[in-house]
Amino acid sequence: MTITVIKNDYRGCEVWRYTGRVLERGATWVRLEARFNRPHDLHTAYHTFRRGDRFVEWFFSDRWYNIFEMHDVDDDRLTGWYCNITRPARLEEAAIYADDLALDVFIAPDGTITVLDEDEFAALSLDETTRAQAQQALRELQEMVAARRPPFDAIPSHEPVESG
């Protein structure tokens, strides 16, 4: 089944949409497969997102984040995880709505964690409850990586898990 993902900014205004294929669905989550569909590759200091890369994505209606497991377009090797700190997703039969709170986390295949866009997050006009939930979500993701809980169980246990 195809599903549409609508990424909103922190105010709930749509900024991007794409489709994916539902792999599994539970009462409070959806796991789907999608392709990186930006017009061009995106080069960053921590990762290169290539057009056509395969993403396995988890969205939750009871958690303040989503998780994208990324695989290379050419050989399908794991290239890391990208996690967006968001309000809990609104899961519908044919659509997922996620309000992005700017704070992001990249986890390399060796378990190195890079927290991204902290300045952008700090500049958002958010109430204290939302800000606290976002910070808690960041801690929860860091704990999941450290404990190698799925989907981070592919990280070798002898590798580092934190970076400055």
Could you read off the pLDDT of 96-129 as tens digits, one per residue? 999 999 999 999 999 999 999 999 999 999 999 9
65 pLDDT higher than 50:
yes
Using 50, 70 and 90 to split pLDDT, how confident is the model at 158? Answer: low
69 pLDDT higher than 60:
yes
**Domains in the chain, ordered, with CATH?**
2-154 (2.40.380.10)
Q: Which residues fall within 8 angstroms of residue 161, CB to CB, at 6 or more apart?
A: 111, 112, 113, 142, 145, 146, 155
Average the pLDDT over 127-143 and give the result.
98
At residue 99, the pLDDT reads 98
DSSP 52: T
Please state, rounded to an integer, the average pLDDT across all residues of the chain. Answer: 94
